[in-house]
């Protein structure tokens, strides 16, 4: 099929032990938590790579040289345009990433994170296809923890509002959706997904993945070793 005229943007952190997935690190230890983060990022990047869109950008923070599965990640990221994150707060960095991605590849930007390894090329294609419709200003994917897993904007300049949203709060998703609807005429909802933040999330998401997915295999290896 012809590429959808949209850029898929992944906002990611290098999965370094002691830095990545600190909530899971309290349960599994820092190395195992970073290994799960690396597996989730690998699955996410593979899904994005298989999605027919006009641009694929990763806004990255952290040092990949110190990351779990560094060589695999660096090889896969060679298929993407990789840009550094910039900004003082996470909201600032999200807004800047949208703007930088649209500057690289003009057109709508659909942004996701690295905590939903269950996301599929089909789901991303459907979201991107909706976003490029002339009567749609934004698409928004809520997460079960009260946050969100996807945000697509037809005009990246509108992303500046993210700097004023308190991130990683139980009402982050609701606040983001309220701000979107106050600013834009047409905001379409995407299916709700579970972010991998807790041990229960890990088991739930892994159980729904294909047996050869990186995340499911990483979870099963953790069970075996420890």
The whole-number pLDDT of residue 57 equals 98
Q: Enter the tokens of residue 121.
A: 């090329």
Return the percentage of the chain with pLDDT > 90, whole number: 95
93 vs 71: CA distance, rounded Å: 26
pLDDT in tens, 71-85: 999 999 999 999 999
DSSP state of 143: B
Residue 224 binned pLDDT confidence (cut-offs 50, 70, 90): low
pLDDT digits (tens, 9 = 90+) for 19-38: 999 999 999 999 999 999 99
Residue 91 CA to residue 160 CA, distance in Å, equals 8
Give the mean pLDDT of 157-175.
95
Choose among 22, 61, 18: nearest CA to 168: 22
Contact 100, 26 (CB under 8 A): no
3-class state of residue 193 by DSSP? strand
- Can you give the residue ranges of every domain in the chain? 4-225
The predicted pLDDT at position 100 comes to 97
Mean pLDDT of 97-101: 97
Asked whether the beta carbons of 69 and 35 are under 8 A apart, the reply is yes
Say what the pLDDT of residue 156 is: 86
Q: Return mean pLDDT, the chain.
A: 95
Contact 74, 25 (CB under 8 A): no
Read off the pTM. Answer: 0.96
Kindly report the number of other CB atoms within 10 A of residue 65's CB atom.
10
The superfamily in CATH containing domain 4-225 is Spore Coat Polysaccharide Biosynthesis Protein SpsA; Chain A (3.90.550.10)
Strands 109-112 and 4-13: parallel
How many distinct helices (H) and strands (E) make up the chain? 8, 7
């Amino acid at each position: 099929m012809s590429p959808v005229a949209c850029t898929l943007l992944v906002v990611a952190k290098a999965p370094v032990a002691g830095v990545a997935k600190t909530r899971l690190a309290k349960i599994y230890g820092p190395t195992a938590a970073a290994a799960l983060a690396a597996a989730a990022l690998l699955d996410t990047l593979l899904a994005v790579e298989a999605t027919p869109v006009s641009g694929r950008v990763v806004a990255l923070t952290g040092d990949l040289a110190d990351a779990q599965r560094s060589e695999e990640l660096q090889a896969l990221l060679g298929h993407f345009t990789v840009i550094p994150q910039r900004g003082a707060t996470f909201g600032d960095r999200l807004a800047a990433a949208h703007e930088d991605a649209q500057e690289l590849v003009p057109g709508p930007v659909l942004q996701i994170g690295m905590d939903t390894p269950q996301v599929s090329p089909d789901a991303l294609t459907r979201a991107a296809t909706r976003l490029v419709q002339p009567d749609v200003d934004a698409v928004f994917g809520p997460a079960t923890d009260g946050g969100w897993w996807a945000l697509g904007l037809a005009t990246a300049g509108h992303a500046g509002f993210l700097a004023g949203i308190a991130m990683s709060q139980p009402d982050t998703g609701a606040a983001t959706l309220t701000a979107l609807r106050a600013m834009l005429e047409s905001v379409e909802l995407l299916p709700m997904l579970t972010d991998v933040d807790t041990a229960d999330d890990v088991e739930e998401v892994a159980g729904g993945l294909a047996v050869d997915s990186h995340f499911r295999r990483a979870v099963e290896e953790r069970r075996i070793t420890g």
